[in-house]
Amino acid sequence: MTVVRQVVRLMPVTSGRQRLTVDATVGGVSLTVPSGAIAASLRLETAQIRFTLDGSAPQSGSGRLMEVGETLDLESNEELDALKAIRTGGTSGVLDVEFFQETSGPEVQ
């Protein structure tokens, strides 16, 4: 007996890369989410930052700390829309961001 089921996979969004400078903007900086994106992978390239995922404004001494070289995976539209980030010191951080969209197809077993 052949079983066919629908499998959901993530694939990069065309033109879905972004370099986000995380500066001292009051209230934090946010992502510009491309159409169709449902997830993202972020890697901090330079300078420590703090971020929140609940839409609240991070400050240089509050929010989750992210160190240079660390990655963060956002796995829902809510997280993509709610991310706010701010630098912790005098140097702006740079996040390398890749967005993903859902693709599906049959898988035969």
CATH of residue 55's domain is 2.60.120.10
Q: Where are the extended beta strands (E) located within the chain? A: 4-22, 39-46, 49-52, 64-66, 71-74, 84-87, 93-108
45 and 94 in contact (C-beta within 8 Å)? yes
| Cα–Cα–Cα angle for 67, 101, 28, rounded to 5 degrees | 40
In a domain, 11, yes or no: no
- pLDDT for 70: 98
Count of structural domains within the chain = 1
In a domain, 55, yes or no: yes
In a domain, 84, yes or no: yes
In a domain, 53, yes or no: yes
pLDDT digits (tens, 9 = 90+) for 32-80: 999 999 999 999 999 999 999 999 999 888 899 999 999 999 999 999 9
d(CA 32, CA 18): 8
Which domain covers residue 29, as residue numbers? 16-102
Given a cut of 90, whether residue 106 has pLDDT beyond it is no
